[in-house]
């Protein structure tokens, strides 16, 4: 098999030459095949001939999720349906799902970037990949599946759910690699503990966790409880699915597969690039996608961009943890709050379980935030005083991190609903009469 990862270590100048050739071709193709791009590029007065350097990227128009929604289902397609061999949809976390399509070559690209994702964690033919991402319209399941096959690992397409079967497979089939959302991985860790199975007696060694925001505190929890190296992965349906970026074992940001996806991090108001290290909105250009060419897609995900060399030898730029989506942002009494900030605060207190739900209400025109979180079993067993003490401690911590006072409800273990996919972290009841369950 050709060395798929060679491109991850080429000199920046060589990588950028490749990106420029691909960018020019993308613009030509988008203008020729997709009415929306033709019109936008015309308005911007740019043709593929104007793309002379990568800096010209900034002259190109943006694409947004609402463009996909307006074009629902197939208006973004640059090929006739005969050339489409797969259709997926986004999870629909923030509204109507967007439909995405792949040509045969797109599937090959996707398998390649997913193989590279797995290889970043050292996955190879000897591995048994326990793929608990959901199979179906969601891109997580099949994305990991094809990548795992390409590296020659044995993939177990277990999908999410059926906890007992998950535990049986871990033990009997010797899963070495776990692929799932971080919240589901935590649920599995809990289920193993309950069944009296010690993680060190399993063969798991690496986990690829993503599809939802998570924190360093959660990483520590997953690494100790599952006895794995926990790597962050990021991707989104509109761009390809998972496979856009992954951490290397250095775990200092996720390398973007820049030969296929060109990243920018921009100020979401001015659309100027943010200074190095500052947080902004991630904008991705899909350099090679055939079915749906993607010009400067505004992901609404917030992150940082780091182009400095990485100790692992990859020359690919890295994005930081996704701290939230612009549309996840809650404005509570005028303060901007992302659920991941609350998670960060909670995870600094050892006696809590990282299962939480934020409930926002409005009473008499005043917003209130309730943070529901589970206590560790020992605290719950110690009784009411211990629970109240923990709540007070958490309240102080949250105030320290977000500068907002929240009502903290410390609940017994297992009170908060678990999900096999993306966890639900927010219940915003403002404008809905304010009644919570
Ligand atoms: P939807 O936008 O409906 O959730 P997708 O299933 O395509 O559709 O999910 C992509 C989104 O999931 C990203 O835009 C991002 O908000 C989130 N996401 C994916 N990976 C991560 C990650 N590692 N950290 C935080 N958020 C992530
Ligand atoms: Zn690296």
Q: What are phi and psi of 377, to 5 degrees?
A: -55, -40
* Total-model pTM: 0.93
Say how far apart CA 16 and CA 31 lie, in whole Å: 22
The residue assigned the tokens 């211990």 is 386
Given CATH 3.40.50.980, say whether it is the number of domain 330-428. no
pLDDT number for residue 436 = 44
Q: Which pLDDT does position 433 carry in this prediction?
A: 54
Residue 434 pLDDT greater than 70, yes or no = no
Tell me whether the omega of the peptide bond preceding residue 236 falls within 30 degrees of 0, making it cis.
no
> What are the extents of the domains in the chain?
1-327, 330-428
* CA count, 13 A, side-chain hemisphere, 290: 16
**Closest of 261, 262, 285, 265 to residue 275, by C-alpha:** 265
pLDDT digits (tens, 9 = 90+) for 244-275: 999 999 999 999 999 999 999 999 889 999 99
Look at residue 321 and give its three-state secondary structure. coil
Q: Tell me: the pLDDT tens digits for 137-166?
A: 999 999 999 999 999 999 999 999 999 999
| pLDDT tens string 365-423 | 899 999 999 999 999 999 999 999 999 999 999 999 999 999 999 999 999 999 999 99
Please identify, by atom number, the ligand 1 atom nearest to the C-alpha of residue 210: 23
- Superfamily (CATH H level) for 1-327: ANL, N-terminal domain (3.40.50.12780)
304 touches ligand 1 (CB under 6 Å): no
User: What tens digit of pLDDT does each residue of 282-329 get?
Assistant: 999 999 999 999 999 999 999 999 999 999 999 999 999 999 888 888
309 Cα to the center of ligand 2, angstroms:
8
How far is Cα 248 from Cα 133, in angstroms, rounded to an integer? Answer: 20
Amino acid 285: pLDDT? 98
State both tokens at 65. Answer: 């999720």
| Protein residue closest via CA to atom 11 of ligand 1 | 236
Residue 241 CA: which ligand 1 atom is closest? 7
Long-range CB contacts for residues 5-12, cutoff 8 Å, separation at least 24: 5/116, 5/119, 7/259, 8/116, 8/255, 8/257, 8/314, 8/315, 8/316, 9/313, 9/314, 9/315, 10/315, 11/315, 12/315
């Amino acid at each position: 098999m050709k060395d798929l990862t060679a491109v991850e270590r080429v000199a920046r100048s060589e990588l950028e030459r490749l990106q420029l050739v691909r960018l020019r071709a993308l613009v030509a193709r988008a203008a020729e095949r997709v009415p929306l791009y033709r019109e936008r590029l015309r308005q911007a007065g740019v043709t593929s001939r104007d793309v002379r350097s990568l800096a010209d990227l900034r002259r190109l128009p943006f694409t947004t999720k609402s463009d996909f929604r307006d074009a629902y289902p197939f208006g973004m397609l640059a090929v006739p349906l005969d050339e489409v061999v797969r259709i997926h949809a986004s999870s629909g976390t923030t509204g109507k799902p967007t439909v995405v399509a792949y040509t045969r070559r797109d599937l090959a690209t996707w398998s390649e970037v997913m193989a590279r994702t797995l290889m970043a964690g050292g996955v190879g033919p000897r591995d048994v990949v326990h793929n608990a991402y959901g199979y179906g319209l969601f891109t997580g399941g099949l994305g990991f599946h094809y990548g795992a096959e390409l590296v020659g690992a044995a993939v177990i397409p277990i999908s999410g759910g059926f906890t007992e079967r998950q535990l049986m497979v871990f033990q009997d089939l010797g899963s070495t690699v776990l692929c799932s959302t971080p919240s589901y991985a935590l649920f599995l860790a809990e289920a193993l503990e309950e069944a009296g199975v010690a993680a060190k007696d399993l063969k798991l060694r690496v986990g690829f966790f993503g599809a939802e925001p998570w924190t360093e505190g959660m990483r520590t929890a997953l690494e100790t409880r599952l006895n794995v190296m926990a790597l962050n992965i990021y991707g989104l349906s509109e761009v390809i699915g998972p496979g856009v970026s992954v951490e290397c074992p250095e775990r200092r940001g996720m390398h973007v597969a820049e030969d296929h996806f060109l990243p920018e991090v921009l100020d979401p108001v001015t659309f100027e690039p943010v200074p190095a290290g500052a947080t902004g909105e991630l904008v991705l250009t899909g350099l090679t996608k055939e079915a749906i060419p993607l010009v400067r897609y505004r992901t609404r995900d917030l992150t940082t961009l780091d182009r400095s060399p990485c100790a692992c030898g990859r020359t690919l730029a890295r994005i930081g943890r996704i701290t939230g989506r612009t549309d996840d942002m809650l404005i509570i009494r005028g303060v901007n709050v992302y659920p991941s900030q609350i998670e960060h605060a909670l995870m600094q207190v050892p006696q809590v379980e990282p299962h939480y739900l934020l409930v926002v209400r409005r009473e008499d025109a005043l917003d209130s935030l309730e943070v529901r979180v589970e206590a560790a079993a020992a605290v719950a067993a110690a009784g009411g005083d211990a629970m109240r003490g923990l709540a007070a401690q958490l309240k102080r911590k949250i105030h320290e991190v977000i500068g907002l006072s929240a009502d903290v409800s410390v609940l017994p273990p297992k009170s908060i609903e678990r999900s096999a996919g993306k966890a639900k972290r927010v219940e915003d009841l403002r404008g809905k009469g304010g009644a919570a369950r």
